A and B are shown apart, each in its own frame.
Chain A
Amino acid sequence: MSKPVTSIKLVLLGEAAVGKSSIVLRFVSDDFSENKEPTIGAAFLTQRVNINDHTVKFEIWDTAGQERFASLAPMYYRNAQAALVVYDVTKPQSFIKARHWVKELHEQASKNIIIALVGNKVDIVDENEEERKVAREEAEKLAEEEGLLFFETSAKTGANINEVFMGIGEKIPLKGPEEEAQGSGLNVTDDQRVNLDSPGNADGPAGACSC
């Protein structure tokens, strides 16, 4: 007896070396490595989680952070249902970049895309509050203005990482059994699926389906 599976296409954006790949690695493999090679182009990973009665399969595109690769980003966020915009709480510049990404997503991405603003590397701040360069309040304010989910995380310790993805999973309208028949895949019904529900009722689990 298999649970219904919903695929969520998710993209990570953010400045270089803020920890995008590390967040994904923690979420997918519950692992961490101090010096991860810079991502070139984009990396693809998947992870399944159970949310209420549903299995949600995250199909994650982890993009490269360096400015030079930014022209590739639209290809990855074009059909995404969710995006993590990541910054480094110890690097103010990365927060500025995060603002840009949020703006670009609102302008270019799918209208109903769910965006989570993620301030990473809080473990550094936990050790020494002086390292914090992006105030939590400032980020919360941005999240509120732009209608974003907001988390502060540490990929190193794992703090709050799963919560980010669960939060997103709960906001995505889940697929009913009859939709299952349409088959899965990235490119099939992404847009339809998102459009079926208004953003308002996203919190309800299976009941939110169109029937």
Chain B
Amino acid sequence: MGVRSPTKDAGYSTRETKERESHSSSTTSLVTSLMKSWRISSSSSSSSAAARVDYSTQSLSGNPTTGTYSEIRHSASASSSHANSKRSLTHNDNASNSSLAKNSSEYGAYTLSRSSSADGNFDAMAKQQNSTARSASSTSNTFSPLRYTSPSGGQIESPRASLLRQKHNKHSHHNQQYYQHNNSSAISELSSTKKSSDKYFEDLDEDWSAVIDNYNMPIPMLTNGGNAHSARYSERHSHSQTRDAQRNSLSRTTTASSIGTTGASGSGSQGQSTQYPQLPNLNIAEALGVDKSQEEIDNEREVQELNSIMQRITKFDSILQGRHIINLQELRQLSWNGIPKPHRPIVWKLLIGYLPANTKRQESLLKRKRQEYCESLKHTFSDEHSRDIPTWHQIEIDIPRTNPHIPLYQFKSVHESLQRILYIWAIRHPASGYVQGINDLVTPFFQTFLTEYLPQSKIDSVEVTDPDTYLTKEQKTNLEADTFWCLTKFLEQITDNYIHGQPGILKQVKNLSQLVKRIDIDLYNHFEKEHVEFIQFAFRWMNCLLMREFQMDTVIRMWDTYLAETSPETTSSFSSSNALNMSNDTLMSPHTPISRKPATFSTPMGDQTSPASTASRSNLSANTAPQAVASPGGASSSDDTSKRVTHSSLNEFHVFVCAAFLIKWSDVLCDMDFQGIITFLQNPPTKDWTETDIEMLLSEAYIWQSLYKDATSHWLK
């Protein structure tokens, strides 16, 4: 019992997939394709997967109104996190302690958000969370919960999250070991839960359901020294076997009739409720369980989704705060699914490699880079500098034409800031120079970083407020400097798009057509028949990264994923090729080594992380190809692709996003002639797109990438 075979983990993942499938009806095809890829990865364990099917049915048929109230997404994370702990334990080293601490922290946070949102009492929750997560309370005010409320939005999160998690499992105990040794602050913060975990980790190891049921831990658990916690673990230990069996049998009844579902899974959780009578919301749910109206079900769903939002916010907080060195990999994985608005500025700066992960170095680095920008400004506007008139003029005429529909970009002060940023960037990068489209790309940074200087309640009004009304002169320069450096970092990855002849864009357009040829041959043939060339519509998609196709808020959401997808980490592990890129850049930027600090800094501590993760990546790619391909850093795994990755995985991922975007309209387009197609693609009906739509698109792109990337390495070059 102590040691489990790894196949069981895969069994869980299959279960997750099943749950997801049932959870969302609108995205069946997405899930189906996901499952296809998934099956491959877990095929080695098909028998154990089959054994788990019963269980999964139970979970999915137990609808949200019942005691199995814990969100499906969370059970996904639960089982994988549990896998973490098991793995660690099988290794039988200290890491198990820390992994447990980690689990506990996760669930502790979850419990808080869960119970409070079930009450609908956010204030109460915020107070409780104050102790561990400072900004959670404030974010609950401004961060619109509706952003994630769509079921499909939740759906989107899942495949990625669990794919990542699976990957993460493979090497997570290395990271955790690192936390254990180097990150005492994080652990002491959770000392109460850790204490109990230390004592009882063996039980946890043997009974994974204990981990899942951790959701139901009432709030006091976190503060009462974990006494109840420990009692529960031991009790759970003795009951685990019987309860597993019980659930399996229950699941058969529940699938038999939908009406019986609530009652049956209610009794399925009976074990829990007798064990934890102190759980008010669970009891309420059961009391009402039999005749829930649709409205109530919707409410419950909303509550769950609120839970997950709060959980996300808490997770971001816990990654960003209280640690000496921020775990960029964790941050990246979390950010892929969207970053809460208040966290976005700092997370973007971290993801792009502007801010170092070492929090102690952040301040000095910011100071330096901002100083550097200031000096650059001074020099540029002094007599020593002879102005590049055509460049200045080109930028000058483009700036009033940038985002003309957003009031923010009509303010004179914004014009001046953008003019400075773009001009300094252009003269520092003579090989590329200013190219139309870069004026678009600078704005998400500018706008996002502006929100740092707004009170949280006003973040949403950033697009209509003149920055001069709330920025000091110094803040404005800092804002410009941050924007400038992040733009620089961002464009570094796609330099080929803007140099003479724009080879990067031409290559992407070609790749897009090849991709569509393979994914949707009907559409491809139709385009050929109508003499539609991809460059006629896709050039702009590449040159402006689809910014012209979407509204700004959705673009910014998209960039969460893009920035998470592009990986300075990846490049730093291939430092030789990275150095080549860099040496290029030193010409223009004398202080480039500083800007590399964030990236390189992860390498020293990489004694634990970097080699481990790299190794696990290559393991993955060797053993379970689809999975490795699916991972964001997967590109870095095989040697022959490393060059491409350092070029940029951004361009590559973007092609898949474009493919998903194009194929989305496939049916409509196939009925159109040349004129119709081009006109449609120039003005796609995306005005009302929400973040959910974007998330769907990104997920589809991700799945296409998972499915086709291995193949594409032959023809995408």
Contact = CB atoms under 8 A, between A and B. Distances in A.
B540 A40 contact: yes
A38 B436 contact: yes
Interface in B380-420: 394, 397-398, 400-404
A16 B397 contact: yes
Interface residues of B, number: 31
8 contacts: A17-B398, A35-B400, A35-B401, A40-B548, A66-B394, A72-B539, A75-B535, A185-B674
A46 B501 contact: no
Interface in B495-518: 498, 500-502
B631 interface: no
A36 B403 CA distance: 9
A118 to B, nearest CB: 18
B531 to A, nearest CB: 5
Interface stretch (B264-272, B337-345, B456-464, B675-683): B675-683
A187 interface: yes
Closest 8 CB pairs of A and B: A41-B539, A40-B540, A35-B404, A17-B397, A44-B678, A38-B436, A35-B401, A41-B540
B621 interface: no
A40 B437 contact: yes
Could you tell me the dominant secondary structure of chain A's interface residues? Answer: loop
A43 interface: yes
A51 interface: no
Given A16-B436, A43-B682, A71 B501 contact: yes
Interface string B523-561: 000000001010110011001100010000000000000
Nearest to B678: A44
Contacts of A44: 536, 675, 678-679, 682
Contacts of A64: 436
Interface in A1-57: 16-17, 33, 35-38, 40-46
Contacts of B145: none
Nearest to A188: B531
Given A68-B436, A68-B502, A37 B535 contact: no
B401 A41 contact: no
A59 B682 contact: no
B536 A37 contact: no
A142 interface: no
Contacts of A186: 531, 674
B195 to A, nearest CB: 59
B263 interface: no
A40 B502 CA distance: 12
A46 B397 contact: no
Contacts of B533: 75
A75 B533 CA distance: 10
A38 B679 CA distance: 17
A35 B535 CA distance: 25
B225 interface: no
A68 B404 contact: no
Interface string B437-452: 1010000000000000
A42 B364 CA distance: 45
Contacts of B674: 185-186
B435 interface: yes
B401 A38 contact: yes
Contact of B439 (A38, A45, A71): A38
A68 B536 contact: no
Nearest to B500: A68
A37 B401 contact: yes
A187 to B, nearest CB: 5
Contacts of B400: 35
A121 B403 CA distance: 22
Contacts of B684: none
Contact of A36 (B404, B498, B540, B679): B404
Contacts of B433: 68
Contacts of B548: 37, 40
B541 to A, nearest CB: 9
A71 to B, nearest CB: 6
Contacts of B682: 43-44
Given A35-B400, A186-B674, A68 B531 contact: no
Nearest to B539: A41
A68 B435 contact: yes
B400 to A, nearest CB: 5
Interface string B145-175: 0000000000000000000000000000000
A112 to B, nearest CB: 21
Given A35-B400, A35-B401, A68-B435, A41 B531 contact: no
A25 B679 CA distance: 14
- The CB with the most chain B CB atoms within 10 A, among A16, A44, A187, is that of A44
A72 B435 CA distance: 14
Given A33-B404, A35-B401, A187 B436 contact: no
Contact of A46 (B394, B539, B544, B675): B675
A66 B426 CA distance: 14
A69 B501 contact: no
A170 B544 CA distance: 38
Contacts of B435: 66, 68
A72 B540 CA distance: 12
A17 B399 CA distance: 11
Interface string A176-210: 00000000011100000000000000000000000
Contacts of B437: 38, 40
B682 to A, nearest CB: 6
